[in-house]
Amino acid sequence: MADPQPHTARLRRRPHRPGRGCAAAAGRGTPQGQAGAGAPLSDARSVPSGVRRARGPQPGPAGLAGAGTAVRPAAHGLPRRTVPGRRRGVVRRLPRTVRPPVRLGDDARPAVRRPVRTRLREVACGVRRVTAANHSGDGDTGGDGNYGGGHGCEPGGKGSDAERARLAALRDGEPLVEFAGGSTPYIDYQSIDVLLSLQQPRSDAPAELPFYVLGQVKELLFKLLYEELVRVRSLLAEDEVWQATWVLRRVQREAGLLCSTWDVLGSLAPTEFNAFRDSLGQASGLQSYMYRMVEYVLGNKDPRLARPHLGVPGVAEQVRRALEEPSVYDAALALLARRGAPLPATALERDWSQPYAPSDAAERAWAQVYAKGGAPGGGPSRPESGGELFWLAEALADVAEAMCRWRSLHLLTVERIIGTKPGTGGTHGVAWLRRVSEHRFFPDLWAARGRL
């Protein structure tokens, strides 16, 4: 007789072992070919009472799906790799599937597609509550200052100056080194075990690991830049000019950190890169949807470059929204118009998905900002003295320059490593990058210098 529940029959049962923490409570994978969300656990007793298993879509990078803490490589035919510091049962093999996008309300802005996230923290906190109670009888410090509020799971132990002072006094300033539940607060807060399980180079070439890791570092910075720039756009729309300028100050430093990734990648010799380049196939940074969204929010709208992402569930909608929404520069021009700048309607009411056309009126408006907002010595006036638009203009110029540096360093690094070879994404390589590097974000700001 056929098994009425074949998907559960293939699960390997494991006895519950108290104290294993996240690896025991949430580390079970799903059978090959199953999405995993909502599948029954092989041993329901492994999850503490009151803690629910993650259900529903768990969005993540294309080709990955999350079930509990099972995060598995999407590439077929690859040997399993040992990740230093990774607990057993965290990385397993998945078929090449993509999770459906999370459905949001019509009035909600979809969040940037998140990395694979699990209920690791929730399950771990439940395990710690049980373990702490077993040690101390009441869930408090248990005599050594390591249980109870120190893990940050309970509302009272989430973190406060008073709690930190109590723990420091209790341990005479020595760091906490023992934690219940098989994890640490840092691992749970940063999802470190999940993060470090996502590096899956496709060759045995030693130089592929720095190339791979730096690629993921860049993607995280793209995400950070996009979220920060969306906030700047909102602040400008609300006439919070000084707050927007403050955030742009940080964005410029984040873009500088992004530029520094080329210092590491530029250290690869051509022979080192060629040792694994064929493993990339047609993968190219040109296909980075987070970088494309950064370009869009900065104002470089090219609808053609959204096409690679239109068939990717959970990504297509985000890229489309970034393309069709106003850019940071559009918000800055609208601010100038509200402050009395005579800008044409073509610069203020247009199809946001199309590239911005430089405007003489906008150029003159920025020149006026510099003329009126400057102090007698040539520097900017204080914001409270009417110089806030001057500071905003310079902050926007700082970000534009940093992104130009990013492109220029990209060009130099590629030319140094592969010369004039074609790129993996179908372009002519250096010739394409040289043309792209000539573009300037916020073009009227650059042109306004010639009027001063």
Provide the residue type at 303 as one letter.
P
Report d(CA 176, CA 145) in Å as an integer. 8
E strand or H helix at 235: helix 208-237
Q: Using CA atoms, how far apart are residues 101 and 81, in angstroms rounded to an integer?
A: 29
| Structure tokens given for 150 | 């120190």
Burial classification of residue 306, based on how many CB atoms lie within 10 Å of its CB (0-12 exposed, 13-18 middle, 19 or more buried): buried
Is 338 annotated among the ligand-binding residues? no
Report which secondary-structure segment, H or E, holds 66.
strand 66-67
CA distances from 234 to 126, 246, 344, 349, 408 (A): 38, 13, 22, 17, 29
Q: What CA–CA distance (Å, rounded) separates 451 from 429?
A: 36
Q: Which two tokens stand for residue 117?
A: 């996230």
The residues, ordered by sequence, that sit 6+ positions from 35 with a Cβ below 8 Å of its Cβ are 65, 67, 97, 99
Tell me whether strands 70-71 and 66-67 are parallel, antiparallel or unpaired: antiparallel
Alpha-carbon torsion, ordered 137, 139, 145, 149, to 10 deg? -170
Sign of CA dihedral 60, 61, 64, 68: negative
At CB < 8 A and 24+ separation, what contacts does 232-238 make?
232/328, 232/331, 233/297, 233/326, 233/327, 233/328, 233/331, 236/328, 236/331, 236/332, 236/334, 236/335, 237/331, 237/334, 237/335
Distant-in-sequence contacts of 371-380, Cβ < 8 A, 24+ apart:
371/452
Query: For residue 265, what are its two tokens?
Result: 């990648």
231 assigned binding-site residue: no
For residue 48, give every residue at least 6 positions away whose Cβ sits within 8 Å of its Cβ, in sequence order, or none: 25, 123, 126, 127, 129, 130
Who's near 215: CB < 8 A, 6+ residues apart? 285
Q: How many CA atoms lie within 13 A of 219 on its CB side?
A: 19
Ligand-binding annotation for 424, yes or no, is yes
Distance CA 41, CA 34 (A): 13
Under a CB-based contact definition with an 8 Å cutoff, are residues 425 and 436 in contact? no
Using CA atoms, how far apart are residues 107 and 109, in angstroms rounded to an integer? 7
Binding residues for heme: 410
Binding residues: 277, 410, 424
Binding residues for substrate: 277, 424
